[in-house]
Amino acid sequence: MAQENISVVVHSPGDLRLETRPVPEPEPEEVLLQMHSVGICGSDVHVWKRGIIGDYVLTKPMVLGHEASGRVVKVGSAVKHLKVGDRVAIEPGVPREVDEFFKNGRYNLSPTIFFCATPPDDGNLCRYYKHSANFCYKLPDNVTFEEGALIEPLSVAIHACRRASVTLGSTVFICGAGPIGLVCLLVAKEMGASQIIISDLCPERLKMAKDLGADFQLVVKKDDSPQQLAKTVEDMMGAKPHITIECTGVESCIQTAIYGTRSGGVVALVGLSTNTVTIPLINAALREVDIRGVMRYCNTWPTAIAMLASGKVNVKPLVTHRFPLEEAIQAFDIAYQRKGVKVMLKCDQDDQKP
Ligand code: 572
Ligand code: ZN
C-alpha cells in the first residue's frame, strides 16, 4: 500500500487522535477500500465529546466516520459485483443475523446490526477500510465521491420521507435546518411536496434552506411557545401542514411538531436526544396525528444513486468545509462549532477533489 492507514480514533470523551492502524485484509465477502471522502456527522462529534451515543458507550478506542465513499483496491474471493478500481458509496449498517427484520426487509431494526462508528464498531474515517461488498454500491461516473458520501445523510431523508408518507401535493413542515433538515427538504420536494416550511434558530441556515427551495422559512426564538409557533406555521402556509418532519430532537420542537400538524396527518421523528420527552400525546390521539419513528434507513442506496445520477437532487451545496484527513482534529472543531453545514474529510492524499 502506498500510504499508511491513518485513522481518526476516539479513545475517551474529548480524546480524539490520529493514529496509524494496520491495513485490514478483506474476508471472502468483503472489499478493501481506499477511502476518498468522509463527512462528519453530529453523532461523530457527540461520541468524541461524550463517549456515548444513545445506549452505546465507548469502552475501547473506536474509529469514527459513517458517511463515506471510496475506491475498491482489493476484492474478497467470493465477491462478484465489484472489481478493483470501482468507485463506491458505503452503506454503514450491515446486518449480522438473518433475523425477522432482515427477512422482512426492515434490516435497520435488527438489534445486532453492525454500524460504523456506533460503539464498539469501527467507522471508516481512515485511509483503508474493509466492508461487506453487498453494502458497497458502485457509483456512476457522473456521481462524485462527495455525493457518494452524502448518500448516507440523504438516506436518512429518503427513509424519513417514506415513513412520513410524503407524496404528490403534500404540505410539509421541517423542524431544523441542519444537514438532516436540509436533505429532508430536498427529498420531500422531489417526492412531490407542494409547499415546504422549515424552521431553525439560525437565520444563516434558513438562508441555505431558501436557496435549496424551501417555500417558507421560520426563524424560531428559544422561548417561543410550541402552540404559538404552530399557529405561526398555520398562518404562513394558509393551513396546517399534512406532515411534519422533526429533525432537532428538542422537546419543545417535538411539541410544536404535534400541535402544528393537520388532523389526520403524520409527525416523523428523525431528531433524537433524550430518551424521555413530554409531549401532547392526547392532542395527537384526538386529532389522529400519527407519530412515527425513524431509525436510520433501509433500502435507500439504490434510490439515492438514481436520484443523484439523474440530477433530480443536488446535494453538492451542502459541503461547506473540506479538510485533508491529516487535519481531522481541526475539522472536528469546526463541526463542533456548527460552522457551515457539512464538513468533509479528504482521505486520499493523491486526490482531494470533490
Ligand atoms: O446517520 C445515521 C445516524 N443515526 C443517528 C445519529 C447520527 N447519524 N442516530 C442517533 C442515535 N441512534 S441510537 O439508536 N444508536 C446509537 C443506535 O441511539 C441511531 C440513530
Ligand atoms: Zn449520521
Answer yes or no: is the C-beta of 267 below 6 A from any ligand 1 atom.
no
Answer yes or no: is the C-beta of 262 below 6 A from any ligand 1 atom.
no
pLDDT of residue 76: 98
Residue 118 alpha carbon, nearest atom of ligand 1:
16
CB 318 within 8 A of CB 205: no
Domain pair 5-138+315-346 / 157-293, same fold: no
Q: Averaged over 37-58, what is the pLDDT?
A: 98
| All three cell numbers of 293 | 419513528
Answer yes or no: is the C-beta of 109 below 6 A from any ligand 1 atom.
no
Nearest CA-CA partner of 90 in 146, 148, 34, 143: 148
What global pTM score does this model have?
0.98
Answer yes or no: is the C-beta of 43 below 6 A from any ligand 1 atom.
yes
Tens digits of residue pLDDT in 184-206: 999 999 999 999 999 999 999 99
Nearest CA-CA partner of 44 in 267, 329, 352: 329
Confidence of residue 101 (pLDDT cuts 50, 70, 90): very high
CATH architecture of the domain with residue range 5-138+315-346:
Alpha-Beta Complex (3.90)
Considering only CA atoms, which residue is closest to atom 12 of ligand 1?
54
| All three cell numbers of 94 | 450491515
- Number of the ligand closest to the Cα of 110: 1
pLDDT of residue 1: 65
Largest CA distance in the chain: 63
Q: For the chain, give every domain's residue range.
A: 5-138+315-346, 157-293
CATH fold, domain 157-293, is Rossmann fold (3.40.50)
Distant-in-sequence, close-in-space partners of 317: CB < 8 Å, separation ≥ 6: 208, 211, 212
pLDDT of residue 2: 61
- Number of the ligand closest to the Cα of 272: 1
Ligand 2 centroid to Cα of residue 45, in Å, is 10
Residue 155 alpha carbon, nearest atom of ligand 1:
1
Tens digits of residue pLDDT in 105-142: 999 999 999 999 999 999 999 999 999 999 999 999 99
